[in-house]
Amino acid sequence: MLLDVGVACLGVSTVRRFEVALESFLAEDLERAHFKDWEMPATQFNGILLWYASTPFYLPFRKVKDYEDYLARLDQIPGRLDTAIAHMRAPGSATI
């Protein structure tokens, strides 16, 4: 059971709901396991392309140096993409 000091203050019904939700999430993960999505380096929801696309949302642009650093990162993208593609094509990688 999950009743420890940190969870006990939530009450038994709250803890039980948490356990049921956790069991459901784990069951879904087991059902999807045959797809091996942890081996997929890029999908429509995650991957290097989306990381670069979302970078401006997570970086503060307050000074000129921030913009210069961002431009330097943009210059690195082609090389990083080539490296990612090489890793995806590397021997031993699962093919889709």
- For residues 2 and 25, give the distance between their C-alpha atoms in angstroms, rounded to a whole number: 16
2 three-class SS? coil
Distance linking the first and last C-alpha atoms of the chain: 40
Q: pTM for the full model? A: 0.52
Is-contact 88 42, C-beta < 8 A?
yes
For the stretch 30-74, pLDDT in tens is 887 877 766 777 778 888 888 888 888 888 899 999 999 999 999
Helix 48-58 crosses helix 64-89 at what angle (to 10 degrees)?
A: 170
Q: Is the Cβ–Cβ distance between 2 and 15 less than 8 Å?
A: yes
Q: Tell me what percent of the residues of the chain surpass a pLDDT of 70.
A: 79
